[in-house]
Structure 1
Amino acid sequence: MKQCRRLILLVTFWGVMLAAGQLAFASQAASEIVLSKGQAVYVPIYSHVFGGDTELPFYLTATLSIRNTDPNSPITILSVNYYDSKGKLVRRYLKHPKKLNPMASSHHVVEESNKRGGLGANFIVKWKSETKVNEPVIEGVMIGTKSQQGISFISRGRPIREKTDSK
């Protein structure tokens, strides 16, 4: 019974967090449309979350979703790299660049059994286009089930400045 209460509390907490994130995104999306010829995008990924006083891990399956939102132009996904909580490269998901046609999507899965990423895992997705296009929507979708209860939430990617050599 105690485990069930913890799980309900955890699901409620993440449901509220998801709703708050959606509201924040809606206000930002309504205010500006950004065109770009390419970016490096950081996407937080949660291989697990904690619940209860004893910090019991709740393991999750994570799906990285990449959606070309431009109705006219393709984009090219240059790399999809998965990093652990310490910033160490865990896996390169692409061997070669991948073209995404207008309005097409692609995904990559980190299985629930894959615990190498840890709580602070992330993807860095690099993409480019020949012309300025609508920014793709790049998200992490986390989902897990336990004892007839489920949890799911998203994390949105955000463009970052790439590491540069400084002299």
Structure 2
Amino acid sequence: MTRPPSSPLRRRFALGTAIALLLGGSLAQAQEAPALSRGQTLYLPVYSHLWHGNRDKQGRPEIVYLSALVSIRNTDPTRPLRVTQARYYDTAGKSLRDFVSQPQTVPPLGTLELFIERREAEGGSGANFLIRWQADAAINPPLVEAVHTDLYGNRAISFNTQARQISE
């Protein structure tokens, strides 16, 4: 019995199916729980604006300004955490301000929210936060994200970024 020759379309379909199965298989696996911690320093990328579109005659692309909601979520169901610093930096690494002037306690499963207004353009496209937190006992580390949005007229932009632990 001879097999019919494989067409390019059939090969692409088979390759696409294989990739989908591989990705689906890896997505179906449970993620490992992060190690318990008594504190961390987290780096969170934040975009107060994005470059987009075509360059003008001076070589500059267009800019869209974004607001950002920084969400520090205590994922521990039984113990609080303290946010001791949430320092905001611009694209050049210059410290702009600390959003937490004194330690803020976040209760179990609670959230501390910080907000960057859309009209605040000082941070730039490479803005970021350094967020430090502590706990009295080892707890589940918080989930820290920034949700960026621009809802203007019939245009809507929204995306999020997640913090990652860094060493100092």
1:157 aligns with 2:163: yes
Within 5 Å, give how 1:108-127 maps onto structure 2.
Answer: 108-127=114-133
Residue 154 of structure 2 aligns with which residue? 148
In structure 1, the residue matched to 2:91 is: 85
Structure 2 CA distance for partners of 1:103 and 1:141, relative to 1, 3 Å:
same
Larger fraction in helix: 1
Letter matched to residue 103 of structure 1: L
Tell me the amino acid that sits aligned with residue 131 of structure 1. Answer: A
Per-residue CA shift, 1:40-65, capped at 9, x if unaligned? 00000001112212221111001111
Closer, same or farther in 2 for the Cα pair 1:132/1:117, shift >3 Å?
same
The CA RMSD over aligned residues, in Å, is 1.8
Residue aligned with 1:30, SS:
coil
**Secondary structure in 2 matching 1:31:** coil
How many residues of Structure 1 are paired with residues of Structure 2 in the alignment?
Answer: 138
Amino acid across the alignment from 1:56: E
Is residue 38 of structure 2 the alignment partner of residue 32 of structure 1?
A: no
- Identity among equivalent positions (%) equals 36
Q: Unpaired runs of 5+ in structure 2? A: 1-23, 56-60
Alignment partners' CA distance in 2, 1:28 and 1:135: 21
Identify the residue that residue 46 of structure 1 maps to in structure 2: 47
Q: Which residue of 2 aligns with 1:133?
A: 139
Distance verdict in 2 for CA 1:58–1:42, change over 3 Å: same
Cα distance change, pair 75–58 in 1 and its aligned pair in 2 (3 A)? same
SS of structure 1 residue aligned to 2:31: helix
Q: Give the 3-state SS of the residue equivalent to 1:95 in structure 2.
A: coil
C-alpha spacing 1:29/1:112, structure 2 compared with 1 (3 Å): farther
Normalized against structure 1, the TM-score is what? 0.78
Partner secondary structure for residue 70 of structure 1:
coil
Question: Unmatched 5+ residue regions in structure 1?
Answer: 1-22, 163-167
Q: Which amino acid aligns with 1:144?
A: D
| Offset of residue 34 of structure 1 | 2.0
Q: Cα deviation per residue 1:116-161 (whole Å; 9 max; x = unaligned)?
A: 1011000111000011110100111100023411000000000111
Which of 1 and 2 has greater Rg?
2
Structure 2 letter corresponding to 1:36: S
